[in-house]
């Protein structure tokens, strides 16, 4: 399954503010199903990478403690016309990517 990402960003003075909304349930594995009494399986984003023109600017590791459909806002060194890419991966192997060209 693919993780859906919506991004936007703008550069001003060599610093770009990048905002992303990631559609994902972010299930920690600690919540119980009331009908079966068994826990919901863990399914959360654990790898987040932001690349500027193919060079890694941010490398983060998340856990099940992050809320569902997380919002990510970061500032990176980048100019107008640079390509910013966001890559995410979950603990069960789902992946998602999105790229923008800065305005």
**3 CB-contact burial (10 Å; exposed 0-12 / middle 13-18 / buried 19+):** middle
Bridge partners, residue 60, by sequence: 48
What's the Cα-to-Cα distance from 5 to each of 12, 37, 78, rounded to whole Å? 23, 33, 20
Gap between the Cα atoms of 12 and 66, Å rounded: 29
What's the Cα-to-Cα distance from 13 to each of 5, 10, 47, 77, rounded to whole Å? 26, 10, 29, 9
Tens-digit pLDDT profile for residues 69-88:
999 999 999 999 999 999 99
Tens-digit pLDDT profile for residues 15-67:
999 999 999 999 999 999 999 999 999 999 999 999 999 999 999 999 999 99
CATH node for 4-28+42-101: 2.60.40.10
pLDDT in the model for residue 1:
73
pTM of the model: 0.92
């Amino acid at each position: 399954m693919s993780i859906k990402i919506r991004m936007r960003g703008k550069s001003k003075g060599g610093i770009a503010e990048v905002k992303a909304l990631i559609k994902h349930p972010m299930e920690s594995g600690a919540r119980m199903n009331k009908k079966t009494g068994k826990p919901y399986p863990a399914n959360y984003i654990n790898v987040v990478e932001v690349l500027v023109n193919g060079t890694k600017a941010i490398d983060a590791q998340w856990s099940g403690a992050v809320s569902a459909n997380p919002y990510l806002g970061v500032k990176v060194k980048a100019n107008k016309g640079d390509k910013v890419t966001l890559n995410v991966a979950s603990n069960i192997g789902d992946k998602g990517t999105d790229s923008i060209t800065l305005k």
